[in-house]
């Protein structure tokens, strides 16, 4: 067994590998970019070495620098995690040439499965069912459009070297094919350095089911059951679970055996995942093989009781698989929710910034949190905006769902937009709760997942007001009774108005000070409130006759109220901004995040219809199209293709057409 390994990754997966290595008595070496100098994985590792600037291509994708660090620190093996160099055959070869073990499959297996088109040809020879489509080498747009027409719309364009939903577009009409192809190719070349694509029939109401496989250097291979990853947005997984709902033992065995045969066909070693598109009738087609550990591997660990990173380390050191197929058992049900810094209400745009407040649910036998960040850390624009993976387990799916709902209700994040409340709505949506699954679940459950805004409950206004009043009272800097902000006045009862805002809803609150608390007037109704605040903003409050537990976290002018499983960012309105509400772009379309302008679609001086694409912004390895908010005139662009932009800057001068 190794005594020291280098982890060629960052964030959550680097921390995950360190945890197992430490338990096994293996020393760890972390590498980091300038953006990650104070990151959690750097703090956890036994030693850490800088490898370059923030950009991944100058740091985490620099195989030469990583191997230089491995040699200098005496690391015997490199764990690539997922993403970055994990599926890079040249890196696997370079490790072998340097006499350093690559904790993953041989380079030949990565090459065989690294190209989706080549992998499908290999699977076709092996007799594994394939989705109808074109998987060849010809890439002329006109030829690919002809193939799409022959296949029949809708079709799916996919980057051959892709993964993670990047370089992938569904196309429903022939007239949209050319622009979708160009966008796919741009995204593919930026993310993978290869713009080769394939075109497949888009299976209606497909499920995404994957099989975890493991091979060793002795030629043995097993499957560790399946995961259902159907719940996705923009072809990126949001929720995963194991086992797949509705899976029969016969179908599991058939899919498991097909996955093992696929792995054996390329001499596979280590952890891998064979992904299938499954029809509602149970038939399935090979989609691709990921030659690495998957983000969602914890759900497999929870239902098998195994540590897959430990298996990786043992197999890479030459040991045989710890268990044979007949020794593997499945126990209970597990779910994983990916907690992201993103805004579901703005098309899941990634969010960046400091984690001012971060309190996950308590971990126990039923709840697990895998994360690469802690309170105070930054979510950088340079990398994936994942905050954590929340994993729950119980005896069956209904009980596991109850665990997930409870755990999400306890999650508190302040400082960045996040998807916690969206995930709460998702796991309670009838379609998901009843396992009516397919990859379009989020789109078809749009009304449930994106409900119309509701008025702020009286209790939320009261809790925000109570927090602000207590903050004022505790802000005293001297012992003079005249500076105390508790409302005391000689021979009088003091009253004042505190103005709060949630979005465009402004709420004036009358405040009168009473013994031991405050009398509030909210929307014409009176309410006596008192409460005691504890660590991390927790509060046990008396609101009239009702006792509640909540949390209120201060961040600038915002008072983030966590109450009954929801989060309400309430702003304290000062005298100068009491009437304020929404944003006014004054004719400008602003950048929703830091990024790079990669294409100007419209022409300055042209009149466009509402929804017309104006420019394409690349951020966090994904393309985001900025569209016209109404019919109007594109007066000018402030940036050219290739320019870097910061969050909130004006991108386009746009003049909406005045309606008669």
Q: Which residues are catalytic?
A: 292
Calpha distance 135→200 (Å, rounded): 8
CB count in 10 Å sphere of residue 478:
8
Give the dihedral sign, CA 98/104/107/111: negative
Calpha distance 642→203 (Å, rounded): 36
Query: What is the residue-wise DSSP string for 404-424?
Result: HHHHHHH-EEESS--SHHHHH
DSSP symbol at 46:
S
Tokens at residue 295, please? 């983000």
Instruction: Give CA separation, 363 vs 295, 298, 658, in Å.
Output: 19, 14, 56
Start-to-end CA span in the chain (Å): 77
Calpha distance 461→459 (Å, rounded): 6
Calpha distance 156→6 (Å, rounded): 38
**Using alpha carbons only, what angle is made at residue 370 by residues 253 and 334, rounded to the nearest 5 degrees?**
35
Calpha distance 631→608 (Å, rounded): 6
How many residues can be counted in the chain?
660
207 within 8 A of 278, measured Cβ to Cβ: yes
Would you report the helix, strand and coil content of the chain in percent, each value rounded to 5? 30, 35, 35
Query: What is the residue-wise DSSP string for 131-181?
Result: -SEE-SS---HHHHHHHHHHH-SSEEEEETT--TTTTEEEE-SGGGHHHHH
Calpha distance 278→556 (Å, rounded): 48
* Cis status of the peptide bond prior to 386, with omega within 30 of 0: no
Tokens at residue 266, please? 């390329």
Among all chains, which residue has been given the structure tokens 């907690």? 339
Instruction: Give CA separation, 261 vs 223, 249, 254, 256, 286, in Å.
Output: 10, 18, 11, 9, 12
Among all chains, which residue has been given the structure tokens 């990634």? 350
Calpha distance 625→628 (Å, rounded): 10
Query: 305: left (phi > 0), else alpha (psi -120 to 50), else beta?
Result: left
Tokens at residue 306, please? 């195994």
DSSP symbol at 345:
G
Tokens at residue 229, please? 């990853």
């Amino acid at each position: 067994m190794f005594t020291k390994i280098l982890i060629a990754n960052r964030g959550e997966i680097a921390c995950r590998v360190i945890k197992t290595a430490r338990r096994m008595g293996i020393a760890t070496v972390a590498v980091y970019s300038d953006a990650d100098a104070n990151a959690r994985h750097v703090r956890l590792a036994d030693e850490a070495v800088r490898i370059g600037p923030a950009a991944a291509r100058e740091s985490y994708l620099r195989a030469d620098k990583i191997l230089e660090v491995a040699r200098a620190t005496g690391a015997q093996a490199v764990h690539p995690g997922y993403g970055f160099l994990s599926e890079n055959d040249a890196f696997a070869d370079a490790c072998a040439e340097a006499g350093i073990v690559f904790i993953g499959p041989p380079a030949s297996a990565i090459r065989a499965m690294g190209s989706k088109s080549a992998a499908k040809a290999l699977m076709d020879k092996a007799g594994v069912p394939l989705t109808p489509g074109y998987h060849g080498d010809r890439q002329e747009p006109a030829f690919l459009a002809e193939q799409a027409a022959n296949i029949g719309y809708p079709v799916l364009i996919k980057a051959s070297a892709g993964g993670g939903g990047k370089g992938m577009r569904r196309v429903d009409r022939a007239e949209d094919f050319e622009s979708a192809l160009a966008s796919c190719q741009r995204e593919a070349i930026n993310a993978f350095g290869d713009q080769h694509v394939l075109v497949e029939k888009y299976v209606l109401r497909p499920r995404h089911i994957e099989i975890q496989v493991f091979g060793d250097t002795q030629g043995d291979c097993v499957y560790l059951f399946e995961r259902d990853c159907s719940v996705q947005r923009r072809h990126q997984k949001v929720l995963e679970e194991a086992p797949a709902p509705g899976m029969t033992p016969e179908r599991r065995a058939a899919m498991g055996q097909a996955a093992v045969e696929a792995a054996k066909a390329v001499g596979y070693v280590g952890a891998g995942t064979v992904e299938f598109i499954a029809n509602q009738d149970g038939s399935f087609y090979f989609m691709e093989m990921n030659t690495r550990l998957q983000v969602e591997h914890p759900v497999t660990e929870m239902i098998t009781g195994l540590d897959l990173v430990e298996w990786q380390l043992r197999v890479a050191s030459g040991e045989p698989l710890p268990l044979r197929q007949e020794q593997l058992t499945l126990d209970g049900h597990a779910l994983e929710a990916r907690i992201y810094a993103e805004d579901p209400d703005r098309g899941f745009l990634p969010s960046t910034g400091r984690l001012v407040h971060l309190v996950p649910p308590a971990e126990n036998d039923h709840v697990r949190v895998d994360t690469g960040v802690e309170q105070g850390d930054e979510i950088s624009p340079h990398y994936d905006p994942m905050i954590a993976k929340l994993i729950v387990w119980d005896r069956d799916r209904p009980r596991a769902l109850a665990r997930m709902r409870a755990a999400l209700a306890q999650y508190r994040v302040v400082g960045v937009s996040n998807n916690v409340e969206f995930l709460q709505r998702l796991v309670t949506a009838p379609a998901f709760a009843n396992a009516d699954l397919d990859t379009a679940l989020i789109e078809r459950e749009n009304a449930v997942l994106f409900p119309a805004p509701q008025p702020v409950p009286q209790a939320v206004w009261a809790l925000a007001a109570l927090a602000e009043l207590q903050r004022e009272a505790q802000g005293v800097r001297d012992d003079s009774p005249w500076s105390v902000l508790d409302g005391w006045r000689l021979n009088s009862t003091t009253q004042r108005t505190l103005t709060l805002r949630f979005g465009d809803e402004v709420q004036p609150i009358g405040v009168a000070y009473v013994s031991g608390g405050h009398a509030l007037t909210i929307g014409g109704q009176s309410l006596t409130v008192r409460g005691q605040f504890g660590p991390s903003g927790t509060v046990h409050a008396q609101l009239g006759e009702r006792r509640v537990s909540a949390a209120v976290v201060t961040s600038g002018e915002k008072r983030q109220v966590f109450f009954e499983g929801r989060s309400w960012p309430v702003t304290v309105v000062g005298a100068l901004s009491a009437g304020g509400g929404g944003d006014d772009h004054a004719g400008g379309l602003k950048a929703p995040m830091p990024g790079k302008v990669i294409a100007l679609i419209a022409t300055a001086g042209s009149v466009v219809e509402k929804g017309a694409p104006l420019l394409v912004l690349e951020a966090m390895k994904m393309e985001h199209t900025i569209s016209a908010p109404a019919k109007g005139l594109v007066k000018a662009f402030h940036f050219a293709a290739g320019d870097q932009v910061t969050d909130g800057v004006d991108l386009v001068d746009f003049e909406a057409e005045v309606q008669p």
